[in-house]
Structure 1
C-alpha cells in the first residue's frame, strides 16, 4: 500500500479543526454554566425521539455496543498492530496517539463538568457522567482516523468512497443510539462529536504534514 500516489490537500484541516475546537470550548461553557439554550436544545430533540418499539430498542442496544470503550479500544489495538505489521509506523503512531488524546480529554472534561444523565429506562444501564458522550467521542475519533488512513492507503476510488461512507454512518448512528436509548442528552452527543472532530482534524493535519515531509525527503535522497 503506497501512499505516494495519494496526495492530500491537508491545509484546510488546521483551520476547520481550530474552528470546531473553538465551538466545542464554547459548547462546554454553555453546558457548565447551565445556559437556558441547552435545555431548550435538549428538550426539543429529546422529546421528538420516540423509542416505544421494543424490537427497535433491542436492536439499538446491540448496535450501541459497537461504540463502547471496550469495543473501540480493541479495534484500535488491532488497527495499530496491523499498521505496524505493514511497516506503516507513522500511521500507527497517528492512530494510537489520536485515540488516546481524545478519550483522555473526554474523561477529564466529564469529571470536571459532572453532568448527570437523563432518566434512563431500567432495562438500559450506563455508568459515569453524561457530558460529553464517550461513545460519540470514541466513534467520531475512530471514524476520522480511519478516513485519514483510507485517504492515503486506499487507491481505488469506489472502494475509498464506500469505506468513508461506512465510517460516517458508523459515528452518526452510534451518536443517535445514545439519544434513542435516552442515556445521553442531545447536547452530550453533539459535544462528543465536536470534540472527536476537533482532535481528529488537528491530528490528521499533523499526520498528513509528516507524510508530506517524509515523501519530500525521500525524493531528495
Structure 2
C-alpha cells in the first residue's frame, strides 16, 4: 500500500520539537540512565538483585534457548527479532531509509544519519568504558561487553526516528497508527529477546534504551537550529 505524503510537510512536526515534549523526555531518560549507570559501576545491591532475579526467571522459564530457527515458533520469532536488531539488520534498514529520505527530503536524511551514527557511537564508548561482563550463560554469538545494550540502543534509536519521520510526513492517521503498532511490537520484541537469549541483564536493556531516548530528545531539540543553519547556507 502506497503511503500518502502531505505535500506541504517537509520538516519534523513542530509539536515533536517543542520544549514541552523534548525537555521532560530528556530529563526522565537522563534520570533513568544515570540510575542504571550508577548502579552498575558502583555494584549496587538493589540493582544486582533485579538483574539476577530477572536472569534467573528467564533461565527457569525459557531454559537455554539457541539463536537459531529451531524448536518452536516463539524461538523462531525471537531469533528473527535478534537478527533484525543486530548490526546487519539495523545498517540495512538505515541505508534503505537514508536513500528514501535523500531522494525526497535531503535535510531529513542528513539529520537521520547524524543522529543514528552518533547515538550508536556514544553507546559503544560508554560500553567500552564500563567494561561490564555479560551474563554467565550468554550465547557465544553475543560478544563484547554488556552495559549498555547495543541492540536495545540501536533499535530504540531507529524505532523513534522512523516514528518521528512517519508522524511528520504521513497524511493518513491509519498509516501512523499501523506503523506505530507494527514497529512498536518489533521494537519491544528486540528488547525482550536480549533477555530471552541471556545476552544482557535487565539494567543493560534499560540503560541502552534510556540512552537512546536521551539522544532522541537532544536531536529533536537541535532540529530547528539544524534547519535554520541549512536555510542560511542555501
Same structural fold, with TM-score higher than 0.5 when normalized by the shorter chain? yes
- Matched residue count: 212
User: Which deviates more, 11-20 or 100-109?
Assistant: 11-20
1:206–1:166 CA distance, 2 compared to 1 (3 A): farther
**TM-score relative to the length of structure 2:** 0.82
Shift in Å at residue 44 of structure 1? 2.4
Corresponding residue number in structure 2 for 1:30? 39
1:32–1:121 CA distance, 2 compared to 1 (3 A): closer
Shift in Å at residue 47 of structure 1? 2.3
1:78 to 96, 114, 118: 96
Corresponding residue number in structure 1 for 2:212? 196
1:192–1:204 CA distance, 2 compared to 1 (3 A): same
Given that 2:26 and 2:213 are in contact with CA atoms closer than 8 Å, whether structure 1 keeps it comes out as yes
Corresponding residue number in structure 2 for 1:161? 177
- 1:92 and 2:142 are equivalent in the alignment: no
Shift in Å at residue 157 of structure 1? 0.4
Whole-Å Cα distance in 1 between the matches of residues 221 and 167 of structure 2?
13
Corresponding residue number in structure 1 for 2:126? 109
Corresponding residue number in structure 1 for 2:62? 51
Corresponding residue number in structure 2 for 1:8? 14
Unaligned runs of 5+ in 2: 66-70
Corresponding residue number in structure 2 for 1:186? 202
